[in-house]
Amino acid sequence: MKRHQALAPLSREHHEALVLAQLLKNITIVYKGLPADIPGKAAYAIRFYHQHLIKHFKEEEEIIIKKITGIDTRLTRLGDEILAEHKELQTLFTTINDADDLGSHLVKTGNALEQHIRKEERIFFPLIQQLCNEEQLASIEKGLTI
């Protein structure tokens, strides 16, 4: 399903976050231009979280989830799941420096991030497109461009 223009900016951001997820999940793999060692990957993940993911999560929570809650019980339930996953990811990213086994923590963080993004792209966003009318989608788009 083609992504509606209202959700396209978030989908593009998801691509960048998926690169981070792969970097973290595959500790021994080296990606050109990205850190190769575990401490470097940890620092990169923390920086990416602060520079990109905090804002991204906030937009999803304050614009999309608030606007879709109550439209359909499936959307409301998925919105609640997305919020819970954001909290889990926040905990994973903010505890990177405290991890006893940094490599395992990064793999866990990468897996959780990838699963979260896949859920949004494969289930949540398509359901929004299916159940929301053009006026509701325009409201989401306007909120994301402010």
- Condensed to tens digits (0 to 9), the pLDDT of residues 114-141 reads 999 999 999 999 999 999 999 999 999 9
What pLDDT, on the 0 to 100 scale, is given for residue 146?
A: 62
Q: Is residue 74 part of a domain?
A: yes
Structural domain count of the chain: 1
Full domain range(s) for residue 104: 8-145
Average pLDDT taken over every residue of the chain: 94
Q: Is residue 90 part of a domain?
A: yes
Residue 84 burial by Cβ neighbours in a 10 Å radius (0-12, 13-18, 19+): exposed
Report whether 56 contacts 17 (CB < 8 A).
Answer: yes
Q: Is residue 2 part of a domain?
A: no
Q: Is residue 62 part of a domain?
A: yes
Q: Is residue 1 part of a domain?
A: no
Percent of the chain with pLDDT over 90: 86
pTM assigned to the model = 0.94
User: The domain that contains 29 carries what CATH number?
Assistant: 1.20.120.520
Q: Is residue 132 part of a domain?
A: yes
> Which H/E stretch holds residue 91?
helix 73-94
Q: Is residue 29 part of a domain?
A: yes
Tens digit of pLDDT for each residue in 11-48?
A: 999 999 999 999 999 888 888 899 999 999 999 999 99
Q: Apex CA 4: angle with CA 82 and CA 25, to 5°?
A: 45
